[in-house]
Amino acid sequence: MKELFARASELAGIVKEQKEVLVVTHIDADGITSGSIAKKALEDAGIETRVRFVKQLEKAEIEKIKDENVFVWFTDLGSGQLSSLDGIDFIITDHHVPERSCTKQLNPHDFSIDGGVEMSGSVATLMVANRLSSNPRLAELAIVGAVGDLQDSRFGKLVGFNRRLVEFLNGEIIEVQRDLRFFGKQTRPIAKMLEYNTDPIIPGITGDENGSLKFLNSLGIDPWKKWIEITKEEKRKVVSAIVRHCMDFGLGYDEIKRIAGECYILLHQPEGCEKRDAMEFSTLLNATARYGEAEIGVGVCFGDEKAFSRARTLLQNHRKNIANGIRLVEEIGIKELKNVQYFHAGKEIKDTIIGIIAGMSLVKNPKKPIIAFAESDNGVKVSARANYRLVERGLNLSKAIKLASEAVGGSGGGHNVAAGALIPFGSEEKFIEIFNELIGKQLEN
Ligand code: C5P
Ligand code: ZN
């Protein structure tokens, strides 16, 4: 651990020498919070800063950066492309599986910390940022990033290095509450919160407005109140009824366990606002960058009211797209191979949200990893998701997707349970064949 802190100080030292820094980051909630943390810290240190968002760090993007001849701070990406960065003056704060260890990166994997669950890109970035700025609110964004990358979903709470940060902040910046882990507790009527929850999928309630209303009415709960508006007693009643309902329908222990768990309340944000709850905050951010409006997400992180209002509009649109995506998958169906399952959304689902739809579709059958294809402008976007249980049996989607995508002339990487790639048009069949085989090999040991 001492080495990790030493690395953070070294990298902060390198950054302090710069007059101008280009922050290059990823277009998801972890990427936006990472980029915002870096931007604020650099500005506090009196360094001129620009932030650029990329879907992935591909060759063309790297070439463009090289031409600019500027110092770069890569956040929430970069470690998977280390060998292509020669000629750029840079530091990296990232948690993706790195190509190799490197003294210019702060990556948990280099310090025997699992970047998939124990440290987000935002928390890695915070470690360097804290040495440039004394702003205590940067940490709140780091928690939002970790939750945005679903680092709390495996155990129903943040663990590892993320947990150290949670404990440090508890009571001052955030409050840890044991509560229902559903989206929308601050902002949505309970009926809608239950209807739209997909983790776990609750028979007769998920996607079923009438079912959700009936369920709440039978408990004597006003379905149009928000979760934060009902009493502790009422909350307890609802949670135990949900658990009972899930048991009656034969849901597994693992799924039921995830219903309640830790929730992270941001104490400096107003009650009833998306930004009060780390889960809702991260979804709000996802709804900006994935639609090409990342700067709105940065504005939200910095408390800009106009940006916040725009983000809420984008969130409504994001919700619609997700609901349409789920419906489309139901229509086209998920095909099963020996070791994996997959679907091809063509142009019907945006390449930037196909990963979210893949994750939601996995819930129905978590036994095999799921692959989702979506056409983008410059190739076919691939998103892979799997249940954590398979990791214990040797699954590593990041490795498999890197090998399979490179074998068909594309590139990819990520984490053991969530990975992505970009492959050439028309190479899907070959890709899935290789991928299926690689997964079979990983799981046979
Ligand atoms: O895009 P998606 O959400 O499916 O990505 C899952 C993970 O895989 C992300 O952490 C992302 O950074 C990584 N990824 C990658 N290379 C790609 C696409 C995604 O490393 N070409
Ligand atoms: Zn991340």
Does residue 420 sit in helix, strand or coil?
Answer: strand
Question: What integer pLDDT is reported at residue 403 of this predicted model?
Answer: 97
Could you give the CA distance from residue 140 to residue 97 in angstroms, rounded to a whole number? 25
Ligand 1 centroid from CA 31, angstroms: 12
**From the CB of 404, is ligand 1 less than 6 Å away?**
no
Q: Give the whole-angstrom CA distance, residue 123 versus residue 102.
A: 18
Both 362 and 410 in one domain: the answer is: yes
The CATH code of the domain that includes 48 is 3.90.1640.30
Residue 344 lies in a domain: yes
Reading the block at residue 213, the tokens are 């209303």
Q: Is residue 43 part of a domain?
A: yes
Nearest Cα residue to 106 out of 208, 37, 200: 37
As a whole number, the mean pLDDT across the chain is 94
* Ligand 2 centroid from CA 433, angstroms: 28
Distance between CA atoms of 269 and 308, rounded to whole angstroms?
13
User: Are 245 and 155 in a shared domain?
Assistant: no
The closest residue, in CA terms, to atom 18 on ligand 1 is 420
Give the C-alpha separation, 30 to 34, whole Å: 6
Closest C-alpha residue for ligand 1 atom 5: 420
- Tell me the residue type at 405: S
How many Å apart are CA 297 and CA 282, to the nearest integer?
A: 10
Domain count, the chain: 3
In degrees, rounded to 5, the angle at the alpha carbon of residue 181 between the alpha carbons of residues 180 and 187 is: 85
pLDDT in tens, 274-304: 999 999 999 999 999 999 999 999 999 999 9
Q: From the CB of 84, is ligand 1 less than 6 Å away?
A: no
Ligand 1 atom showing the smallest separation from residue 58 Cα: 21
Tell me the β-bridge partners of 422.
Answer: 381, 411
User: What percent of the chain lies above the pLDDT cut of 90?
Assistant: 83
Tens digits of residue pLDDT in 234-272: 999 999 999 999 999 888 887 888 899 999 999 999 999
pLDDT at res. 256: 87
How far is ligand 1, taken at its centre, from the CA of residue 216, in Å? 38
Query: What's the burial of 211, exposed, middle or buried (CB within 10 Å: 0-12/13-18/19+)?
Result: middle
Same domain, 40 and 167: yes
pLDDT at 116: 93
Q: CATH no. for residue 399?
A: 3.10.310.40
Instruction: Reply yes or no on whether the pLDDT at 152 is more than 70.
Output: yes
pLDDT digits (tens, 9 = 90+) for 170-227: 888 999 999 999 989 999 999 999 998 877 878 889 878 899 999 999 999 999 999 9
Rounded to the nearest angstrom, the distance between the alpha carbon of 346 and the centre of ligand 1 is 18
- Return d(Cα 190, Cα 182) in angstroms, integer: 10
What pLDDT does 143 receive? 98
Measured by CA distance, the residue closest to atom 10 of ligand 1 is 414
**pLDDT confidence of residue 91:** 98
Pocket of ligand 1 contains residue 145 by CB under 6 Å: no
Instruction: Please name the residue whose Cα sits nearest to atom 6 of ligand 1.
Output: 419
Rounded CA separation 284/278 (Å) = 10
Residue-range definition of the domain harbouring residue 61: 2-172
CA 325 from chain centre, in angstroms, equals 18
The pLDDT-based confidence of 308 (bands split at 50, 70, 90) is: very high
| 8 Å CB contact between 370 and 342 | yes
Question: Minimal CA–CA distance to 187: which of 263, 277, 261?
Answer: 277
For 417, phi then psi, to 5°, come to -110, 0
Q: Which residues 6+ apart lie within 8 Å of 11 measured at CB? A: 91, 93, 104, 106, 128
Task: Report the residue among 24, 26, 28, 56 best suited for mutation to probe ligand 1: largest number of ligand atoms under 8 A from its CB.
Answer: 56
User: Are both 24 and 106 inside the same structural domain?
Assistant: yes
Q: Which of 172, 202, 232 is where one domain is finished?
A: 172
Residue 293 lies in a domain: no
pLDDT (average), residues 45-61: 93
Please check the confidence at residue 230 and state whether its pLDDT lies above 70: yes
pLDDT for position 445: 67
The answer to whether residues 151 and 6 belong to one domain is yes
What residue owns the CA closest to ligand 1's atom 12? Answer: 414
Residues 51 and 196 placed together within one structural domain of the fold: no
Is 302 a member of any domain? no
Rounded to an integer, the average pLDDT of 415-422 is 93
Q: Are residue 159 and residue 207 in the same domain, yes or no?
A: no
Closest ligand 1 atom, residue 419 Cα: 8
Same domain, 120 and 227: no
Residue 129 falls inside a structural domain? yes
| Best of 57, 81, 96 for a ligand 1 pocket test (most atoms within 8 Å of beta carbon) | 96
Q: Is 314 in the pocket of ligand 1 (CB under 6 A)?
A: no
Please tell me the distance from the alpha carbon of residue 174 to that of residue 164, in angstroms, as a whole number: 13
Q: What pLDDT does 255 receive? A: 80
Same domain (yes/no): 72, 200: no
Model pLDDT, residue 140: 96
Is there an atom of ligand 1 within 6 Å of 151 CB?
no
Domain membership of residue 217 (yes or no) is: yes
Indicate whether 304 belongs to any domain.
no
Of 394, 400, 402, the residue nearest 443 (C-alpha)? 394
223 C-alpha to center of ligand 2: Å? 35
Of 172, 198, 213, which one is at a domain's C-terminal end? 172
For 271, counting Cβ atoms within 10 Å of its Cβ (0-12 exposed, 13-18 middle, 19+ buried), the class is exposed
Minimum-distance ligand to the CA of 386? 1
Same domain, 200 and 115: no
Looking at the structure, do residues 90 and 142 belong to the same domain, yes or no?
Answer: yes
Residues 94 and 152 in one domain: yes
Range from 152-156, 229-233, 263-267 carrying the lowest mean pLDDT: 152-156
Q: How crowded is the C-beta side of 146, counted as CA atoms within 13 Å?
A: 32
- Work out the end-to-end distance of the chain between its first and last CA atoms, rounded to an integer number of angstroms: 32
How does pLDDT run across 354-372, given as a tens digit for each residue? 999 998 888 778 889 999 9
Which pLDDT band, with edges at 50, 70 and 90, does 106 fall under? Answer: very high
Is 88 within 8 Å of 72 (Cβ atoms)?
yes
Neighbour tally for 421: CB within 10 Å:
29
Does the CB atom of residue 80 touch ligand 1 within 6 A? yes
Could you say which of 239, 264, 289 is where a domain stops?
264
Cis peptide before 200 (omega within 30 of 0): yes
419 lines ligand 1 (CB under 6 A): yes
Is 328 inside a domain boundary? no
